[in-house]
Amino acid sequence: MRIVLVGATGFIGRALVLALQGHGHDVCALVRSRARAAAVLPAGVEMVELTDDGAVDAAVARAEAVVNLAGESIAGKRWTRRRKRVLRASRLDVTQRLVDATDARKRPLPLFISASAVGIYGDGGEHFLDEASPPGEGFAAELCQAWEAVARHAHATRIVCMRFGIVLGRDGGALEPLLRIGKLGLGGPLAGGEQWVSWIHLDDVVAAVLHVLASPRLAGPVAVVAPEPVRQRDLARAIGAAVRRPAVLPAPRFALSLALGESAALLLQSQRVLPRALGASGFKHRFPTLESALEDLLSDAVTIRRADQAELPDSAYVQTRRPRYTLSTRTELDAPLAEVFPFFAAPANLGALTPRALSFEILGDPDAVHEGALIDYRIRLGGLPMRWRTQIRSWLPGAKFVDSQERGPYRAWWHEHRFHERDGKTIMDDIVHYAPPLGPLGAIANLLFVGRMLRRIFNYRQAAIRLRFDRRPQPTLELSSQPLA
């Protein structure tokens, strides 16, 4: 299926692009800057700038589905008049532009998917809410209502408004700020903590979009949440337990209102939402409980140990620079080696596997990968911009390749990528022999900063790889003139 996607470089969008490609879809991303988008999206994504009206209309004219994830984050800042204008424009104006593009088509677009949020319900108290529940009151509810109203004017056979709950994932979304607060011991109950929170794992968000694409009877509003909402105090306790900090320091209602103004409603309102439309159409959550989601998102697949000099490769580079540590991680992918290896062999895919905080950017157009090839890129470490040059030291297609840092922040960096196939699956091992900077102080740097950063990078990489090569089957439903509302 040819899919036009808006918001491809965002938290949900980056994950969705990997999964769409993994399921064989062609992706055209409507972006504000091709250069910035190319740095974080995988190879093979067509990019059209939103300011090019003709190209946008042409892309939508060729599309079989449009997925609209546009919208500035509604959390984190006070809702001043100026901020409200920005939030409205980022949702309503972009959605209207896409609706106009569907009007320019000769035939109705088969499917128009537009983001929305459970904020549309306002404060639901103890009531169970679903797609049939009426909208609530307040700025967030009114914004979502206006957002969905614009989307419903799309010239499309099927229109779906996906009402997202709080999305938990690595490198973005709500989890990172919750973890930071929890580590400080400040993640206690908010205004008593009785309010209900509707949440969902990022992988299940992506799977829900794929499910909608494959479910021709699913139309109208769709609540994209886990089947088990939790009270805010229980979410706080779970986060506190995950970071081994007590979640007891409360934040009273008046303090939140004083600090955040009207936007405190996002923390104070209760939304006990159930995903009835998804369930009725056969969708199965991979992470239905908060415990299972946090266990996955906070798991650490990376091992870092002191380098065993006897196990180091026989290389002049290694013998000269002397790595002090060895990092290792293993990933099992439900995909054949012939599909997996070419993905990792393409330098253009590196940005899609790298956390946004590193601001990864390849410099120039690297040649085809081969032994001796050089790849230059720019990154940020600890907020500091720096350049990195990699040399391919060994290249054995389908089995192994090795790259080393020739110029960059580490005293030594020797990265071995090993692949083998077993029972139709691919086993991928990453082994990195490295020495931190700062000479004698490298051990302290590794303990306080470097080791943690590498764990974050490789755990994020593993999560992104899983999305790209996930083979969870999608539903096959009979076409019907009676959509599921």
Residue 116: pLDDT band (50, 70, 90) is very high
Homologous superfamily of 303-469: START domain (3.30.530.20)
Alpha carbons 175 and 152: distance in angstroms, whole number: 31
Fold match flag (2-293 vs 303-469) = no
pLDDT at 417: 97
Residue 369: pLDDT band (50, 70, 90) is confident
What SS3 state is found at 266? Answer: helix
Top pLDDT among 485 and 156 is at 156
CATH assignment of 2-293, among 3.40.50.720, 1.20.1070.10, 1.10.3720.10, 3.40.640.10? 3.40.50.720
What SS3 state is found at 386? Answer: strand
Q: Tell me the mean pLDDT in the region 333-362.
A: 92
Which range, of 2-16, 144-158, 163-177, 252-266, averages the lowest pLDDT?
Answer: 252-266
Instruction: Give 189-222 pLDDT, tens digit per residue.
Output: 888 889 999 999 999 999 999 999 999 999 999 9
Which range, of 79-88, 267-276, 433-442, averages the lowest pLDDT?
Answer: 433-442
Is residue 152's pLDDT more than 50? yes
Q: Tell me the mean pLDDT in the region 454-459.
A: 94
Q: Which residue has the tokens 């779906």?
A: 160
How close are the terminal C-alpha atoms of the chain, in Å? 23
Residue 307: pLDDT band (50, 70, 90) is very high
pLDDT at 136: 96
Residue 473: pLDDT band (50, 70, 90) is low
The packing angle between helices 451-469 and 202-213, to 10°, is 20
pLDDT at 463: 94
Whether 474 and 214 have beta carbons less than 8 Å apart is answered as: yes
Helices (H), 168-275: 175-183, 202-213, 232-242, 253-260, 265-268
Considering only CA atoms, which of 247, 246, 248, 266 is closest in space to residue 256?
266
What's the whole-model pTM score?
Answer: 0.92
At a CB cut-off of 8 Å and minimum separation 6, what does 262 contact?
78, 79, 139
Alpha carbons 200 and 198: distance in angstroms, whole number: 7
The DSSP bridge partners found for residue 426 are 333, 421
Q: Where are the beta strands (DSSP E) in 270-383?
A: 272-273, 303-306, 325-333, 361-362, 374-381
Is residue 368's pLDDT more than 80? no
Number of H helices, E strands in the chain: 17, 22
Instruction: Give 219-266 pLDDT, tens digit per residue.
Output: 999 999 999 999 999 998 898 888 888 777 777 777 777 777 887 888
Both tokens assigned to 393: 């030291």
Both tokens assigned to 370: 């081969």
Helices (H), 389-475: 442-445, 451-469
At a CB cut-off of 8 Å and minimum separation 6, what does 91 contact?
70, 71, 72, 143, 146, 147
Top pLDDT among 189 and 399 is at 399
Q: Of all helices (H) and strands (E), which one includes residue 429?
A: strand 425-435
Whole-number mean pLDDT of the chain?
91
The DSSP bridge partners found for residue 380 are 385
Q: Which residue has the tokens 């206006």?
A: 146
> CA-based Rg of the chain, rounded to a whole angstrom?
24
- Please state the domain extents for the chain: 2-293, 303-469
